[in-house]
Structure 1
Amino acid sequence: MPALVSKSLRDYRRSLIRWTIGIGAFFTLYLSIYPNISENKEIYGAQALAKYPGALRDLMGGMEDFTSGIGYLSSVVYQLFGPMLFVVCAMLLGNRAIAQPEEAGTLELTVTLPIDRRRLVFERFVALALGLLAVAAATFLLVWVLSAVSDMGVPADRILAAHTGVFLLGLFFGVLALTVGAATGRKGAAMAVVGVVAVGGYIVETMGKNVDWISWLRWISPFHYYLDGRPLHQGFPVGDYLVLAGATAVLLITAILAFDRRDVGV
């Protein structure tokens, strides 16, 4: 493993452990109450949830039957809160790649080392991807075990498909933060861009299904390529995930070129 990747992962170690524990605690909390929810069809069943306002149901992905394993995982775990936790985790890791050390004044020392700038950005990306993958792998195993213990009846391959989507979505936003940081050297700018794209993209994807004048924007929302394929119901949406991966690759190339041409003060 390249030295810069190893060093970056060591630097991220405590943060990755905290995020794994935090996301794991979230999943544990919500999955542990599923047995109680599944027994209350009059409150959490499809007919009861249909009484909620349409806009609220749209924002929550339609609010499927919470008493079914797939419906509960889809609406509560993988619709909004789980993905957003991964997005924030990836954004912070992406900021630590370029923008944060540049603002702290430590990036200048790294740039003076005998390492090509393009390689520096790429290896920071590799560290980001590996770190996020570790969090995703650990939390996938947790969800798989807890869903089996709670007798949710969701196949492991469907959970893997949904978790893969969460990882790819998080990686996209992590690289978006890295790209903005590589272009500007400002972590505040990176956080602002990620926040706008994440919140706006989610609203457009969920509300755009029933609001005609914004429906066309769904195609440029990263959440569309995570949610539209319904991985818990239909398995791996290969085409959608390839779009997410391709968009991430384009952002990475942009980050490499932007950082290579920018004055970092050395």
Structure 2
Amino acid sequence: MLRNIILKTLRDRRRSLLFWGLGFVVLAAIIIAFYPVIRDATFITEYLESFPEEFMALFAGEITDYASAEGFLNGELFFLMYPLLMLVFSIGFGSGAIAGEEERRTLDLLLSNPLNRWRLVMEKFAAMVICTLLLAIVFWATLAIGGAIADMGLNLLRLAAVCFSGFLLAIAYGTVALAVGCSRGKRGLSMGVSGALGVYGYMLNALAPLIDWLEPFQVASPFYYYIDANPLSNGLDPLHAAVLIGLTIFFLVIAIATFERRDVAV
């Protein structure tokens, strides 16, 4: 058994990570391939403007110029598709980090090594951060290369900002999944709770601008801190990034504290 849990986890995840990375490359390439058509066809923009405001807010956010590279990528990728895929990956990773090992009856093998429980959680968390960050980098690199080929005129630093912001969002939800898994030891419950919170966060952020009584609660959604400042156009908002990092630290502390005190199935 490897004493370095990070390396062991990365080794176990290498095939899954490869397929996820290829999926992100294909998604980015397909979306970029459509951009020249959208840019040159003004009737498409007019057609999209005819959609109900509620529909556009739910699936594409508040886009002011769909024909621009930033508006197109925000609507097609960064408002829904990119964070959705990143959350699916991180929640799956976080829920399986401890609870998955426990359900497979392999957790006792890890704990039989001279390894503190807090260190096990931290190394599993670090592996999740590394894998999720690699996906964000692959996505950024594909968009940067494809954007240059398609002459989209993207600012690479601001493109990195929105990709990194999505990474922070994914890690926050992945850490929620990790915390539930550490406290209850059930992967299904961990995925269900964190997934439900993800749906709640997305719907709240998307619908709050349209519903007066919901608007004050928009700041309760992690998605607000991911996309509200429009990092693709304005760069990363340090305060919003700090909120997502703070949420991650909060749930990581919960994960460690509950796992240290709980009896585990062996």
Deviation at 1:230, TM superposition (A): 0.6
SS in 1 for 2:213: helix
Map residues 66-145 of structure 1 onto 2, 5 A cutoff: 66-145=66-145
- The one-letter code sitting in structure 2 at the alignment partner of 1:52 is F
5+ residue gaps, structure 1, are: none
Paired residue total:
264
Which residue is 2:47 aligned to?
A: 48
Contact 2:24 2:138 in 1 (8 A): no
Distance, in Å, in 2 between the alignment partners of 1:151 and 1:230 is 21
3-state DSSP class of the match of 1:114? coil
Tell me, yes or no, if the aligned pair for 1:49 and 1:63 is still in contact at 8 Å: no
The AA in structure 1 aligned to 2:48 is L
Matched-pair contact (CA < 8 Å) for 2:54–2:210: no
1:26 corresponding residue in structure 2: 27
Cα deviation per residue 1:138-169 (whole Å; 9 max; x = unaligned)?
Answer: 22111111111111122111101110111111
Give the C-alpha shift of residue 196 in structure 1. Answer: 0.9
Identity %: 35
> Gaps spanning 5+ residues in structure 2: where?
none
Task: Give the partner amino acid of 2:42.
Answer: K
State how far apart, in whole Å, the 2-side matches of 1:165 and 1:98 are: 26
2:96–2:181 Cα contact (<8 Å) kept = no
Across the aligned residues of Structure 1 and Structure 2, the Cα RMSD in angstroms comes to 1.4
**Using the alignment, how far apart are the partners of 1:265 and 1:93 within structure 2?**
20
Q: Deviations over 1:187-221 (max 9, x none)?
A: 11111112111111111001101212222321111
Counterpart of 1:244, as a letter, is: L
Query: Normalised by the size of structure 2, how large is the TM-score?
Result: 0.95
In structure 1, what is the Cα distance between the partners aligned to 2:102 and 2:240?
Answer: 34
1-side partners of 2:14 and 2:79: how far apart?
Answer: 28
Structure 2 CA distance for aligned equivalents of residues 147 and 265 of structure 1: 50
CA displacement at 1:49 relative to structure 2? 2.3
TM-score, structure 1 normalization:
0.95
> Quick one: which amino acid aligns to residue 189 of structure 1?
L
Partner Cα distance (1:18, 1:210) in 2: 38
How far is 1:72 from its partner?
0.4
Which residue of the partner structure matches residue 207 of structure 1?
207
